[in-house]
Amino acid sequence: MSHNIVAQVQEWLRAHEDDLLADYRKLLQIPSIESDPEPNAPFGAENRRALDYMLSLSASHGMSTKDGEGYYGFAEFGSGSQMVMSLGHVDVVPVGPGWKHEPFGAEVEDGWVYARGAVDDKGPTMAMFYASLAVKAVMGDPGVRVRNVFGCDEESGFGCVKHYLKTEEVPTIGVAPDAGWPCIHGEKGISDFVVSWPIPKGDLTLLSLEGGQRPNIVIDSAKAKVLASGAGKSILENAIAESWDRNLTFEWNGDELNITAVGKASHGANPFGGDNAVCRILRFLKDCAPTSQEREFDQMHELTHPGGNGIGIAGADEPSGPLTANLGIVETKDGHILFTINVRYPVTFVFDELKAKVEAKLADNVGKPTLVSASDSKPLYFPIDHPLIQTIQEVYEAETGDTKKPGTMGGGTYARAVPNCVAIGTGWAGDGPAHETDERYGVEHLFRASRIYGHLLVRMTQLAKEMP
């Protein structure tokens, strides 16, 4: 019976591929980057518009909908006390420079759809929505409720799901299509450590240092202003003449040196995949600092270490691997430089212990920096033998023939915020990368994901009936 239903669901999806692609492109053309709040739009007008689009589309297909005051919305069908949930998000990270394609043009070229949010997370969200439509068309009422949640603040704080959990029920089981195949049974803890460093003063005074868009993006451009006095100017002039870093440019304005750096953006969970522009500036300054200031600039440069060495928390565990640290935002304010470091820590680590290590490490630094704030989102961990994990793996193997095992990751998805949920896969080779320039999703990959999601939803409706 189940096999026949799955076949019918996937046949429906194949028959509606043109509609799926068209609706997906329309959603991509909405520039849903967080902006200033407006009435009933806590994350800005464009995020509100993206949410309205999904709710209107859902209603047009006969689903009941709810608008959660602009924080989130959901579409639902079916009946019963048990509920199967999918959690997708319609917000995207800022664009950044260097795009070859229009970031919100949703251009299709050689089988790829290019746009910010193509794979993170509008493509998977729309593919899952269409999988739900297929289940509704074939099964009618599956005996459980199937709910598609559309969040508006996944990329900058999870305010949407926090608001959801204040008034709405949690699912019996759920998935967030926003990760790697077949699923992610462990998500590292995520913390933002904000370090305040008094401006270094001496022959070289660092007047300002600025860079970064979000804590979870590797800084791809940065600027600094340095005041040179005494022997400082000749030291800087010599250093500029000998500088090997072609990603740095210099401009003198009297005794002030303006430095501009270019790097490469990457997701903050993978800082090794990017090139931090602030790191380039601080490396230059520590290499040419006078002897009396060398140690302080060296320690400041250490803050950019992607393994967390500069704040004293490097480490790893067996289930989830090494800790990573992304210096995502740097700004100058009231005589201090503020460094926001986005940390992804292993699933067996304890946040309070990490915080204590950061404070101890900073206390030993020359410049006497301090930890001014620290946020925490605790890790997510499901055993491999959990029924939901096993079901996801079985569906993935049946659809692909791939025996890849569930994994862990440093990225954070909605699954960590909503009970009984795990993150599942979205794409294949060539898709993405998330948060980078010219983000893209294969057209055939979009269709393939919808069919896998359709199969999975059928199995999840059955599993939910067996859950207590």
Q: Which two tokens stand for residue 301?
A: 């440069």
279 closest CA partner among 258, 304, 259? 304
Q: What is the Cα–Cα distance from 117 to 103, expressed in whole angstroms?
A: 9
Domain map (residue ranges) of the chain: 2-188+379-466, 190-374
| List 46, 120, 121, 154, catalytic entry | 154
Angle between helices 17-28 and 123-139 (to 10 degrees): 140
- Give the CB-side neighbour count of residue 292, counting CA atoms within 13 A: 9
| Cβ-Cβ contacts under 8 Å for 333 (sequence gap 6 or more) | none
| Cβ-Cβ contacts under 8 Å for 117 (sequence gap 6 or more) | 27, 28, 32, 90, 92, 123, 439
Catalytic residue flag (residue 154)? yes
State the architecture of 190-374 in CATH terms: 2-Layer Sandwich (3.30)
State residue 468's pLDDT score: 80
Is CATH 3.40.630.10 correct for 2-188+379-466? Answer: yes
State residue 307's pLDDT score: 97
State residue 279's pLDDT score: 98
Instruction: Indicate left, alpha or beta for 110 from its phi (over 0: left) and psi (-120 to 50: alpha).
Output: left
| List 34, 46, 76, 91, catalytic entry | 91
Q: What is the Cα–Cα distance from 296 to 209, expressed in whole angstroms?
A: 15
Q: What is the pLDDT along the chain (468 residues), one digit of tens a residue?
A: 578 999 999 999 999 999 999 999 999 999 999 999 999 999 999 999 999 999 999 999 999 999 999 999 999 999 999 999 999 999 999 998 999 999 999 999 999 999 999 999 999 999 999 999 999 999 999 999 999 999 999 998 899 999 999 999 999 999 999 999 999 999 999 999 999 999 999 999 999 999 999 999 999 999 999 999 888 888 899 999 999 999 999 999 999 999 999 999 998 999 999 999 999 999 999 999 999 999 999 999 999 999 999 999 999 998 899 999 999 999 999 999 999 999 999 999 999 999 999 999 999 999 999 999 999 989 999 989 999 999 999 999 999 999 999 999 887 889 999 999 999 999 999 999 998 999 999 999 999 999 999 999 999 999 999 988
| Pair 265, 293: CB distance under 8 Å | no
Q: Which two tokens stand for residue 218?
A: 């590797």
State residue 410's pLDDT score: 87
Catalytic residue flag (residue 11)? no
Q: pTM of this prediction?
A: 0.76
